[in-house]
Amino acid sequence: MPTRFSLRRRVAAWLLPPLVILLLVNAVLSYQSALDAVNRAYDRSLTAALRAVAERTHSLAGQIHVDIPYAAFEVFEESGQERVYYAVIDPQGEVLTGYAGLAPDDPPPPSGEVHIRNARFLGEEVRLAAQRKRLYDPELGDSDAVTIVFAESTGSRDVLVRELFLGSLRRQLLLVAAGGVLIMLALASAFRPLLALRNAIRQRHAEDLTPVPDTNIPNEVRPLIDAINHHMARLSAMLAARRRFLADAAHQIRTPLAVLGTQAEYGMRQRDPEEMRRTLASLHASVRGARRLANQMLTLSHAEAVNGLIGERAELDFTALARETALELAPLALRKRIALEFEGADTSLRLHGNAAMLREMIANLIDNALRYSPQDARVVVAVAARAGGGAVLRVSDSGPGIAKTERENVFKRFYRILGQGDSEGSGLGLAIVREICWAHGGRIALKDGEHGRGLCVEVELPRSGKP
């Protein structure tokens, strides 16, 4: 069973995952941005405290003096729950004052810049700032620099980062939700013309095959509407052809049925065996004519290209097919004492087509030529190669021919020229031939026969065999 899917769901499935991914990426970036902002704010206090201690650290006669000012701790009073650690380390690495063990993993640069990084001290995460300060005391020689370290626990930072991040995340979720709602509203608005089109088609009458209006239709859907209208036009043409065929068939079949009924009634009133035999012979001829008419109408119904019934196609040898068909009709030519000649190509002519229908086309052409030719006449069936691939079939006879003014009319169904041919003709032969020719992408033309006498029917068929 074919899988059904919703375009709305499919579009949403394509849009929502990227939105979620973008939200996750933005959340990571927002957290990092919040962390950087909080660290910059808190690091200013940490740097200020460190520099306050550095300003009060000096050396005199080789003795290093450190005066820890109150201002160094005053900047941390607003976040009283945080623990603050400090240490001043002499050039030999000994702690002059502060917490033992508080030292940076990497020594700060000798230029005196403040170096800040994350670290662990006494089992907790801290933000550690370190600075290297030269004392310029000749008594200390080249080793006259001390290292000042300040560290602060990160609890307050983490709380503030979390608050900033969650606030930003809430706003982003609201924006995504609003975007999702807008997308669904946009999809509903975009599909509204399609729903209106669906309702309009559903409300149509079963026999309404008029084109679907393409007004208020999105450009992306217009090719589909054009294809539907093209298909409906083909259906309309096919139904019209069927109705026309049924009307013509009903009209044409009435005459043979009336003749059969009259002959049967006449035969039932006869008592003379000889007259009854003549009546039965006439009845048999009428039945044969009616059967031929029914067969030709059935063939025409299958041959009409608008019905699309000529579907099975295969590669075939058109020369051999024409030769075989001519041989099948040779007994009819012998009965009428007509010379049936075949002129075929030296090699086989291959083309794609429906063998049964092509055989019917050739048979109708030869049958028409034999019916309209007098005794001791000559009918020639010639097959030649077509320029560009394919085959050309010519059937020439020595009959009365067809006037140029009538050559288009004879392709009409049930059309017959009065005073020509035998009484069993139905007027369908050339109509069948043209439909089969068109269904194979061919071309048919009526020309004068040899030396201006009779008729020559020329059929060109391409190698592809497709219209």
The DSSP output letter for 412 is: S
Q: Does 184 reside within a domain?
A: no
In a domain, residue 109? The reply is yes
Among the candidates 242, 275, 303, a domain finishes at 303
On whether residue 206 sits in a domain, the answer given is no
- Residue 89 domain flag: yes
Q: What SS3 state is found at 392?
A: strand
The answer to whether residues 330 and 441 belong to one domain is yes
Q: What is the CATH number of the domain that holds 380?
A: 3.30.565.10
Q: Are residues 33 and 137 in the same domain?
A: yes
Which of 262, 287, 303 is the C-terminal boundary of a domain? 303
- Total count of domains within the chain: 3
Could you tell me if 338 and 437 lie in one domain?
yes
37 and 122 assigned to the same domain: yes
H-helix segments, 273-396: 273-303, 318-328, 330-335, 355-371
**Are residues 294 and 368 part of one domain?**
no
- Choosing from 274, 303, 332, the residue where a domain stops is 303
Are residues 319 and 391 in contact, defined by beta-carbon separation less than 8 angstroms? yes
Residue by residue, pLDDT tens for the chain (467 residues) are: 456 667 777 777 787 788 788 888 888 888 899 888 888 888 888 888 888 888 888 878 778 888 777 767 776 766 557 788 888 888 888 888 888 888 888 888 888 888 888 989 888 898 899 988 888 877 777 777 888 898 888 888 888 888 888 888 888 888 888 887 888 888 788 778 878 888 888 888 877 778 887 777 777 778 888 888 888 888 887 777 777 766 666 655 665 677 677 777 777 777 777 877 777 777 777 677 667 666 666 666 666 654 445 667 788 899 999 999 899 888 888 988 899 999 886 778 888 888 888 888 898 889 888 888 888 888 999 998 888 788 899 999 988 888 888 888 877 766 666 555 554 556 677 887 888 888 888 899 998 888 778 889 999 998 875 65
Q: Are strands 339-343 and 378-385 parallel, antiparallel or unpaired?
A: parallel
Full residue range of the structural domain in which residue 240 is found? 222-303
Least Cα distance to 371 among 325, 333, 417, 411 occurs for 333
Same domain, 139 and 257: no
- Chain-centre distance for alpha carbon 33: 45
Q: Where are the beta strands (DSSP E) in 205-301?
A: none
